Amino acid sequence: MGGGRYSLDIAREYRSGNNAAFQAPAGSTPQAVHPALNPYGKRREVNNVTPIVVALDMTRSRGDDTKLMYEKLPALMGQIELKGYTENPGISFCGIGDAFADRAPLQVGQFEGDNRLDEVLQRMWIEEGGGGTGQESYELAAYFYSRTNCVRQAQGTGKKGYFFFFGDEGFYPKLDKSAVKRIIGDELEADLDAGEAFRRLQDKFHTFLIYPQKTMAERRTNIDAEIKARVTGRGGMYEGVDVRASLLWDNRNDLDLHVISPTGQHIYYGAKQSTDGGWLDVDMNVTGDSLKPVENVRWAKGQAPAGRYKVFVRNFRFHEPSAAPTRFKVELEIGGDIRHVEGVISPAGQTGDASDVVVAELDYAPDAIRRQADEEQVYKNYSDDVVLAQWATVIPKEHIIRVGDPKSIIDVLLGALAISDGKVDLDTYVKDMRAMGADDVRVREIEAALGGLPSATRVATAAVEGDVPPPPEPGGKKKSVRL
């Protein structure tokens, strides 16, 4: 894999006459991983001098990055060749989702150096899913590519490759062995620590995180969109409520949401409506038909009685082949106050009342002043500090690159590659950008993002220390920050 040369003329012609990018191919099952990108039972091999992996988040928050990459790929490849930013590159595009929630948690292209790269990208399924927990399965991608056969590297005629994660969330701390078996086909004796998966990856690749920054309001919109989409997509009431409990999980097991109201009435699948206004209006996975289930109990505005509400989750039945624990999330809204509770049910295979997990006991007072729960607590798993602190434990802090404008990610990728490969320094790259017509705002953005990169001689020895780079400042200056 990886031979040939990328033709800009072919790329332009292909794009001008192709409107099928990111659509399911003719004759294939809609909404499924393209067979050429399915990682099950496969390994990737690269003969190029410089292996490069571009791993793109396919969830709701970052799905448009793939379309941007497709749009800008001709310019990226043209600059690499024109400026000689790296020698004989072979690129593998990777799509990342959530192993516990998505139908396409991992999509992997061959390493290519010619116009087959266009075909790989346009076959990607941008699922826009995710599990709604602030984590995606980056560790699964790290494990898959740690198994890559880098031919020239192994023969001593090549060098370490470059691996670029594009994402704005954390990863799961453990690589789930059942997910590895189901998605990749490998048999692991036990769950693998995510740190070990990233360590193995860095034996073959210099690894970077390109982190497009977002405001908390933008992050909250994406988080709430997943919960709201599941509830309303099944006909449930999400807005216009005084009290609401929404349960999300990401497998076929039949979890049940139970709420006991202040009047002592028990709302659950066997008694979906109460005389005090409560209603279980979404009840899923009785037959195990969904990988993105939700249940919803709510009282519409003006109907909820005052007093204490008790919320708990029960595992009624396993539909999955193994009686493995199930992660879940409950969003609670009471009097305009929203909070999230995460948990694990059936750690030892329990079902029925033996599996019950009490989520919360909350008091509702209709006349109380409504307030929004503190964003830092409700959405804490999505905050920059939490996400980047986790990444800094598995890749060098110098390789965490924060980007203010998501449209700049391609320029940042190219600059990081050229600078880290020792072909240019930052000043030279900035001059190249100006020569290509980049305006001052864009140049300052890129200069700030790349200002903390180590020199080429330090790439191989950068340490993982747990530091996190601060947001880029105008002019490319950075300060040292310790969380």
User: In 10 A of CB 17, how many CB atoms?
Assistant: 7
How confident is the model at residue 143, as a pLDDT? 98
99 lies in the same domain as 44: yes
Compute the average pLDDT of residues 27-51: 83
Q: Poorest-confidence range of 25-39, 108-122, 251-265, 289-303?
A: 25-39
Q: Which residue has the tokens 């499924």?
A: 32
Distance CA 66, CA 150 (A): 25
Distance of CA 362 to the CA centre of its chain: 32
Contact at 8 Å (CB) between 186 and 192?
no
How confident is the model at residue 465, as a pLDDT? 46
Structure tokens at 151: 């031919």
175 membership: H or E segment, kind and range: strand 174-175
328 lies in the same domain as 201: no
213 pLDDT tier (thresholds 50, 70, 90): confident
**Residue 340 structural domain:** 232-374
Burial of 56 per CB tally in 10 Å (0-12, 13-18, 19+): buried
Q: Which residue has the tokens 């494990």?
A: 143
How are the residues of the chain apportioned to helix, strand and coil, as percentages rounded to the nearest 5? 30, 25, 45
Angle between helices 440-450 and 409-420 (to 10 degrees): 50
Strands 326-334 and 307-317: unpaired
How confident is the model at residue 478, as a pLDDT? 42
* Alpha helices, H only, 43-176: 64-83, 116-123, 138-146, 151-154
How confident is the model at residue 32, as a pLDDT? 77
How confident is the model at residue 218, as a pLDDT? 61
CB within 8 Å of 121: residues ≥ 6 apart: 21, 66, 69, 70, 73, 93, 109
Closest by CA position to 343, among listed 360, 359, 331: 359
47 lies in the same domain as 185: yes
- pLDDT tens digits, 434-469: 998 888 988 998 998 998 887 533 333 334 444 555
User: In 10 A of CB 399, how many CB atoms?
Assistant: 27
Distance CA 309, CA 269 (A): 17
Contact at 8 Å (CB) between 56 and 104?
no
CATH number of the domain to which 331 belongs:
2.60.60
How confident is the model at residue 341, as a pLDDT? 87
Q: Poorest-confidence range of 100-104, 191-195, 330-334, 458-462?
A: 458-462
Q: What are phi and psi of 281, to 5 degrees?
A: -95, -5
* Alpha helices, H only, 396-439: 409-420, 426-435
On average, the pLDDT of the chain sits at 84
Compute the average pLDDT of residues 243-268: 96
Residue 128 within a domain: yes
- pLDDT tens digits, 105-149: 999 999 999 989 999 998 998 887 665 567 889 999 999 999 999
Question: Which of the two residues, 74 and 278, has the higher pLDDT score?
Answer: 278
Contact at 8 Å (CB) between 86 and 50?
yes
116 lies in the same domain as 186: yes
208 lies in the same domain as 277: no
Contact at 8 Å (CB) between 280 and 257?
yes
Distance CA 377, CA 356 (A): 25
134 lies in the same domain as 198: yes
How confident is the model at residue 14, as a pLDDT? 72
74 lies in the same domain as 200: yes
Please give the share of the chain, as a percent, with pLDDT higher than 90.
54
How confident is the model at residue 482, as a pLDDT? 31
Structure tokens at 462: 């950068």
Asked whether residue 481 carries a pLDDT value surpassing 80, the answer given is no
Q: Which amino acid, one-letter code, is at 425?
A: D
Residue 428 within a domain: yes
Q: Which residues of 66-81 are buried (b: 16+ CB within 10 A; e: fewer)?
A: bbbbbebbbebbebbe
User: In 10 A of CB 65, how many CB atoms?
Assistant: 23
Strands 307-317 and 357-364: antiparallel
Please compute, for residue 198, the number of CA atoms within 13 A of its CA located in the half-sphere on the CB side: 23
Distance CA 342, CA 461 (A): 38
36 lies in the same domain as 14: yes
Residue 131 within a domain: yes
Structure tokens at 447: 């200069």
How confident is the model at residue 220, as a pLDDT? 63
189 lies in the same domain as 152: yes
Residue 467 within a domain: no
Distance CA 58, CA 51 (A): 22
Question: Which of the two residues, 265 and 14, has the higher pLDDT score?
Answer: 265
Domain boundary among 323, 350, 374: 374
Distance CA 229, CA 93 (A): 29
Per-range mean pLDDT, top range of 14-18, 329-333, 470-474: 329-333
Residue 466 within a domain: no
Distance CA 168, CA 160 (A): 25
332 lies in the same domain as 417: no
30 pLDDT tier (thresholds 50, 70, 90): very low
Please compute, for residue 197, the number of CA atoms within 13 A of its CA located in the half-sphere on the CB side: 24
Domain boundary among 374, 400, 421: 374
Asked whether residue 63 carries a pLDDT value surpassing 70, the answer given is no
Question: Which of the two residues, 472 and 396, has the higher pLDDT score?
Answer: 396
CATH number of the domain to which 389 belongs:
3.40.50.410
How confident is the model at residue 342, as a pLDDT? 85
131 lies in the same domain as 236: no
Tally of domains within the chain: 2
Domain boundary among 352, 374, 396: 374
23 lies in the same domain as 171: yes
How confident is the model at residue 475, as a pLDDT? 45
Residue 161 within a domain: yes
Residue 420 within a domain: yes
Compute the average pLDDT of residues 36-52: 94
Residue 210 within a domain: yes
Q: Poorest-confidence range of 2-6, 72-76, 92-96, 302-306?
A: 2-6
Asked whether residue 18 carries a pLDDT value surpassing 70, the answer given is no
How confident is the model at residue 414, as a pLDDT? 94
The arrangement of strands across the sheet holding 89-96 comes to 106-108, 89-96, 50-57, 161-166, 205-212, 400-403
